[in-house]
Amino acid sequence: MDQIKKFVIEFFKNLKCSVSLDGEVLVVENVPKSFEDLFGKESPYRLGFESGTGAIFVGKGSSLLAAMTKYLEGAGKTTLLKIDFDVDPEKEISKVLSLKNCEISNLVKKHKNNFFSRFTFMTTFRYLNESEQIVNEIYVHNGEVVDGDLGGYNVVEGDSDLSSGEHIGGDYDIAKVFLKGALQDKTSEISKVLGDKVEKEIERINLHYGNLLGELGGDLNGQLEKVKKLELELRMAEDSEKDGLRIRLDRLRKGLVKVGDDNARDKILKEQKFTVKDAMHKHSLGIDNKLVNTTVIYYPVFTFNLLLKGDGTSGRYIDMIYDPLTKSLNQVDCEGCGTRLNVLNLCSGGHICCGNCLRKCGECCEQFCVKCLTRSCSCCGKALCKNCSRMCLGCGKNVCENHMRVDCVSGEDRCVNCLRACMRCHGLSSPKFFGEAMDGSKVCQKCLGAERRGKVVESIFRDRN
């Protein structure tokens, strides 16, 4: 009964009628004229699934079901439906992700349509004098059969301009294979009942023809004996038994004529064969699958394009894809270590990372991910961002601002490891700029030069005197 009710509701919904329940009675309004004409009654319809409700009875053999069947035979049209979703991106995002050191500064919601097909099959099982109908609805999405139910969704008429029918052919083949599997249980159940019945029937037929052949065969004398015995019985029998005995006697006499007659034997065997074949045919199962409706259903799959911004960062765009049907939002992974993020951090270099992968630059104190913070000072070891690290042209290593000095001789920047202190002027300079002073100490070239100039000046003065 539920099957029928479901079928009726689905049928009228597909016809875009408004369907509602008034207690046990199904009220159907706005029925297309084409159906009203076929059924011969004007809508609204009040339909009852139990007899005696005062409504139009719907059940096996009812005129409404007959009209529906007839209508469907003419309607192979594809219906297009759209599932409407009202989605709040920020709400969906906040369910899977919290933003630690940044916020969404801009969000653009785009969508693409995702299509699936629904095939409604009406299967009729015909056997003996019965006919049983089953409705199956099969949903196919991305080449796979999926559990589908549009109940609870806001379904509206689709936009027929969309080119959406390209997958239907392939989907239909998939649905047909699935249908066969879905009917397997029912098919084998009926087949078993029929098989048992036909087995008994054939047994009965074979017994019957076996008897006939038995009467044909046998020895002539035995048969004559039987005839004589029956004739005697007939003479002495009560009137009420006479008819029966006469028939048996008659058959036996005819049998006498037939004894040894191969033609008669062949005839019986032929008849037996035919009767068995007929019994098997009567007990066969006819399955008829009819595609009553094809519906293409589509719904939007959203892409949320977010611009994340933290303090002093230039920002970072990320795309998150949200499927409202499966309620799934694609997850974001840490760009440092690859773990799935529940809490999102934005590094000043624009990377997305987990709390473990977020470090501070020892110089500017801004937050960076491990990918950005690869440099460190070769003198003090503090982690350095790209902006804060400086390269010593002497040794090629990275150093912090504090450990980079000016060579007092060449005026070039060098790290403190590449410089040596001059004991005379206390300046720093590359060891190659050191030389021996007159007192034997190693001093920088600046001090050496001063010493030499002092000598020259001294001699000038001495010459003048």
- Binding positions for Zn ion, rule: CB under 5 A: 334, 336-337, 347, 349, 351, 353-354, 357, 361, 363-364, 369, 371-372, 377, 379-380, 385, 388, 392, 394-395, 400, 403, 415, 418, 422, 424-425, 427, 444, 447
Minimal distance, residue 363 CB to Zn ion, in Å: 4
Choose between 210 and 431: whose C-beta lies nearer to Zn ion: 431
Residue 390 CA: distances (Å) to CA of 87, 268, 315, 413, 445: 49, 112, 25, 10, 26
**296 neighbors 79 (Cβ within 8 angstroms):** yes
Rounded CA gap, 409 and 244, in Å? 146
Minimum CB separation from Zn ion for residue 107, in Å?
23
Minimum gap (Å) between residue 168 Cβ and Zn ion = 45
Of 249 and 406, CB closest to Zn ion: 406
Report the nearest approach of Zn ion to the CB of residue 317 (Å).
Answer: 15
Cα 84 from Cα 91, distance rounded (Å):
18
Q: How far apart are CA 160 and CA 79, in angstroms?
A: 9
Q: Name which of 300 and 349 has its Cβ closer to Zn ion.
A: 349
Nearer to Zn ion, 297 or 418 (CB): 418
| Count of CB atoms situated within 10 Å of the CB of 184 | 10
To which H or E segment does residue 384 belong?
Answer: strand 383-384
Give me the amino acid identity at 16.
K
Type and span of the H or E element at 236:
helix 220-236
Whole-number Cα distances in Å, 266 to 60, 216, 259, 320, 432:
47, 11, 13, 82, 128
Question: Least distance in Å: CB of 303 to Zn ion?
Answer: 24
- Packing angle of the helix pair 262-282, 168-216 (nearest 10 deg): 150
**Comparison of 195 and 431: residue with beta carbon closer to Zn ion:** 431
What minimum distance in Å lies between the beta carbon of 431 and Zn ion?
Answer: 12
Least distance between Zn ion and beta carbon 434 (Å) = 9
Q: Which is nearer to Zn ion, 301 or 418 (CB)?
A: 418
Contact 358, 341 (CB under 8 A): no
Q: Which is nearer to Zn ion, 47 or 404 (CB)?
A: 404
By beta-carbon proximity to Zn ion, the closer residue of 165 and 350 is: 350
Please, what is the minimum distance in Å from the beta carbon of residue 398 to Zn ion? Answer: 9
Contacts of 334 (CB under 8 A, 6+ apart): 340, 341, 352, 353, 354, 357
Phi and psi at 450, nearest 5°, equal -65, -40
Parallel, antiparallel or unpaired: strands 78-84 and 286-310: parallel
